Amino acid sequence: MIEALRLTKRYGERTAVDDLSFTVRPGVVTGFLGPNGAGKSTTMRLLLDLDEPTGGAARVNGRRYRDHRAPLREVGSLLEARAIHTGRSARNHLLALAATHGIPRRRVDEMLDLVGLAGVAGKRAGGFSLGMGQRLGIASALLGDPHTLLLDEPVNGLDPEGVLWIRNLLKSLAAEGRTVFVSSHLMSEMALTAEHLIVVGQGRLIADTTVEELTRRASPAAVTVRSEQDGRLRELLGRDGVTITSADNERLEVVGMTSAEIGRVAAAAGIALVELTPHQASLEEAFMQVTRESLEFVGATR
Amino acid sequence: MSAAVVERPSSVAGTDLAVTQRRIITSEWIKLRSLRSTWFSLGAAILLDIGLGILFSGLRGNDAATHQVPAADFDSIEVSLRGMFLAQLAVGVLGVLVITGEYATGMIRASLSAAPRRFPVLVGKVAVFGGVTFTLSTLMGLIAFLGGQAVLHTDGYGVSLSSPGAARAVVGVGLYLTVVGLLALGCGFAFRSTGGAIAAVFGLLLVLPLLAQALPNSVADHVNKYLPMVAGSQIIAPHQAPNVLGPWTGIGVSALYAVVALAVGLFVLMRRDA
């Protein structure tokens, strides 16, 4: 469980996080979404007590991060900027972190195996690719077998296989009842991984919702219909609350009716349909729409 | 590589996980010994100190013998230990890097995520780096002393470890270099950047005495003896010279500089965002 309570962080004149409140619950993957510069990384650092908030408070599993007896057992974290000394080997990096908590050496080796770095564990981390660095970051996040995971852009730099691996890993960790909080600026990635979403823009909360709900709210479902008697169908469907647009004469884009309703109308009139395709706005579109609204709102209040 | 993390029995279950000062010290020891720069710096310090000690001893002993300097007027102990003034460069740089290296690479965020309370982190670094520096440089002082005296013996100037001031001077090498190392560590915590911290350390150690020379003599005599290198290095001097502090007072005064630097460093560590 992660709680942000009216969290605010200012750097001089610039407000990075603005009165942000949300709760992240265990059992599902929660996406932390927003364009670059929206304050996601700052929020993550505030949650980890690395930065001091200007106002408000951050709690993880009921307490400030630093007030936990064994912080790595509570929260495993991967920060966007690399947090690894380039001169140290992957194994020594993990051993040093493990030592602070008395985590056994065996666990370090298990984590290296898990993330696929066992073969290069003795090599200096400075020579690692972005993807390998991310894997090492994941290994350190999982070191303490934490109840809560806080990952900032974990798929950055990973190859498709690695992305898939992270996705499954996060889902299985959440399925175990852990709290999994993952930031991303890629809506499409979140659509595949997260169930719940916290969307921020310019440091403020834009939406705290489920992926499903966001999609529904963002734009109504449209249905594409094609028939051999396009003109007649257009007349039949044209009623209050229904908008029909068409790219060409043979295809109608209908908003305001379900595909079942359209099918029934066509059948009653004896019109043969060639195509009947319901569309859901893609999450990417939904996200763009929601963030655009918030940016306009902010712009208007200035 | 598999997503089977969840099916695997967790090997931390049943272990008493908690952050303690002792564990932080263990962690700092792993960090210190697992970097190549540690061994390069300390290796350089040791070679410079011992090598120069023996070299000076040979040259000075030879020179003194040709001029028939009486043994009582020859500073045998100091000659063999003077290499520490060069070794302090390596120790000072390493002391800075121990912490600024973490800021430069981002490692500090991993360190503070694992041990979020700041004070024990500083204590851990002081204990490990101070302990390693003291042990190695005292040992190095002993080798430089024994080597130097063996060379000086051929000219009749060698003294033994039991002669007055000798044991103190050998331990003094360890103490002085530890003070320099901790002063550097404190500056590293305070500045967080390698360049700034190194400038501060060597400004204090090497540049201040030069600036003090610009002062009128009456003032300089009072100021000079309190400067960290001047005060701290009296511990390897066999006889007390005029206008300097005694060996123990001197090392105490130089240690105060390190304490102040560490206090400022702690303040920065606690107050500023990582």
**Complex ipTM value:** 0.92
Most confident range (mean pLDDT) of A126-135, A276-285, B45-54, B117-126 is B117-126
Copy the structure tokens of residue B232.
């701290």
Closest CB from A71, A115, A142 relative to B113 = A71
Copy the structure tokens of residue A91.
């194994």
Q: Which of A177, A201, A216 is the last residue of a domain?
A: A216
Closest CB from A70, A110, A115 relative to B17 = A70
Closest CB from B2, B13, B116 relative to A71 = B116
Contact at CB, B34 and A65, closer than 8 angstroms: no
> Is residue A30 located within the same domain as residue A119?
yes
CA-wise closest residue to B18 among A239, A113, A71: A71
The answer to whether residues B45 and B137 touch, using CB atoms and an 8 Å cutoff, is: yes
Q: Which residues of A84-94 are buried (b: 16+ CB within 10 A; e: fewer)?
A: bbbbbbbbbbb
pLDDT by residue, tens only, chain B of 274 residues: 444 444 454 567 777 899 999 999 999 999 999 999 999 999 999 999 999 999 999 999 999 999 999 988 899 999 999 999 999 999 999 999 999 999 999 999 999 999 999 999 999 999 999 999 999 999 999 999 999 999 999 999 999 999 989 999 999 999 999 999 999 999 999 999 999 999 999 999 999 999 988 899 888 888 999 999 999 999 998 777 788 899 999 999 999 999 999 999 999 999 999 8
B8 domain-assigned: no
Tell me whether A176 touches chain B (CB under 8 Å). yes
B69 domain-assigned: yes
Contact at CB, A84 and B110, closer than 8 angstroms: yes
Q: Which residue has the tokens 């309703």?
A: A261
B205 domain-assigned: yes
3-state secondary structure of A21: strand
pLDDT class of A301 with cuts at 50, 70, 90:
very low
A300 domain-assigned: no
3-state secondary structure of A30: strand
Strands of the sheet containing A222-227, edge to edge, are A243-245, A251-255, A222-227, A273-279
Q: How many domains does the structure of chain B reveal?
A: 1
> Is residue A22 located within the same domain as residue A81?
yes
Contact at CB, B106 and A84, closer than 8 angstroms: yes
Q: What is the pLDDT of residue A236?
A: 83
Interface test with A, best of B6, B8, B12, B103 (most A CBs within 10 A): B12
CA-wise closest residue to A252 among A227, A219, A221, A285: A227
CA-wise closest residue to A22 among A49, A50, A3: A3
Tabulate helix, strand, coil % of chain A (nearest 5). Answer: 40, 30, 30
A299 domain-assigned: no
Cα B199 to chain centroid distance, Å, stands at: 16
Distances (CA, A) of B208 to A285, B198, B236, B261, B265: 64, 14, 20, 16, 21
Distance (Å, rounded) from C-alpha A180 to C-alpha B5?
15
Distance (Å, rounded) from C-alpha A164 to C-alpha B3?
10
Q: Which of A173, A190, A216 is the last residue of a domain?
A: A216
Contact at CB, B12 and A73, closer than 8 angstroms: yes
> Is residue A7 located within the same domain as residue A62?
yes
> Is residue A9 located within the same domain as residue A81?
yes
Q: What is the pLDDT of residue B6?
A: 42
Distance (Å, rounded) from C-alpha B177 to C-alpha B187?
15
Q: What is the pLDDT of residue A298?
A: 53
Copy the structure tokens of residue B245.
């502090």
B98: which chain A residues are within 8 Å (Cβ-Cβ)? Answer: none
B30 domain-assigned: yes
Could you list the residue range(s) of the whole structural domain that residue B261 is in? 21-271
Q: How many residues does chain B have?
A: 274
Distances (CA, A) of A98 to A134, A179, B192, B222: 18, 21, 25, 51
A75 domain-assigned: yes
Nearest C-alpha in B relative to A73: B17
Nearest CA-CA distance, residue B116 and chain A, Å: 5
> Is residue A211 located within the same domain as residue A225?
no
Kind and range of the H or E run holding B123: helix B118-153
Backbone angles phi, psi at A99, to 5 degrees: -60, -30
Interface test with B, best of A41, A86, A100 (most B CBs within 10 A): A100
A52: which chain B residues are within 8 Å (Cβ-Cβ)? Answer: 271, 273
A81: which chain B residues are within 8 Å (Cβ-Cβ)? Answer: 106, 109
Nearest C-alpha in B relative to A54: B273
> Is residue A123 located within the same domain as residue A187?
yes
3-state secondary structure of A228: coil
> Is residue A91 located within the same domain as residue A28?
yes
A26 bridge partner residues: none
Q: Which residues of B197-217 are buried (b: 16+ CB within 10 A; e: fewer)?
A: bbebbbebbbebbeebeeeee
Q: How many domains does the structure of chain A reveal?
A: 2
Tell me what the pLDDT averaged over chain A comes to. Answer: 88
Q: Which residues of A259-295 are buried (b: 16+ CB within 10 A; e: fewer)?
A: beebeebbeeeebebeebeeeebebeebbeebbeebe
Tell me whether A40 touches chain B (CB under 8 Å). no
CATH code where residue A42 lies:
3.40.50.300
The answer to whether residues B78 and B237 touch, using CB atoms and an 8 Å cutoff, is: yes
> Is residue A249 located within the same domain as residue A204?
no
CATH code where residue A237 lies:
3.30.70
Q: Which of A162, A182, A216 is the last residue of a domain?
A: A216
Q: What is the pLDDT of residue B4?
A: 43
Note the pLDDT tens digit of each residue in A33-84. Answer: 988 888 999 999 999 999 999 999 999 999 999 999 999 999 999 997 789 9
> Is residue A115 located within the same domain as residue A261?
no
> Is residue A49 located within the same domain as residue A195?
yes
> Is residue A205 located within the same domain as residue A236?
no
Note the pLDDT tens digit of each residue in A182-239. Answer: 998 888 888 889 999 999 988 999 889 998 887 776 666 788 888 877 678 888 887 7
> Is residue A172 located within the same domain as residue A234?
no
| Long-range contacts, B66-74 (Cβ 8 Å, 24+) | B71/B156, B71/B157, B74/B157
A186 domain-assigned: yes
A296 domain-assigned: no
Q: What is the pLDDT of residue A297?
A: 54
Q: What is the dihedral of CA A85, B34, B132, B261, to 10 degrees?
A: 0
Contact at CB, B1 and A140, closer than 8 angstroms: no
CA-wise closest residue to B5 among A141, A215, A287, A21: A141
Q: What is the pLDDT of residue B9?
A: 46
Copy the structure tokens of residue A270.
């004896």
Could you list the residue range(s) of the whole structural domain that residue A235 is in? 220-279
Nearest C-alpha in B relative to A122: B34
Nearest C-alpha in B relative to A135: B1
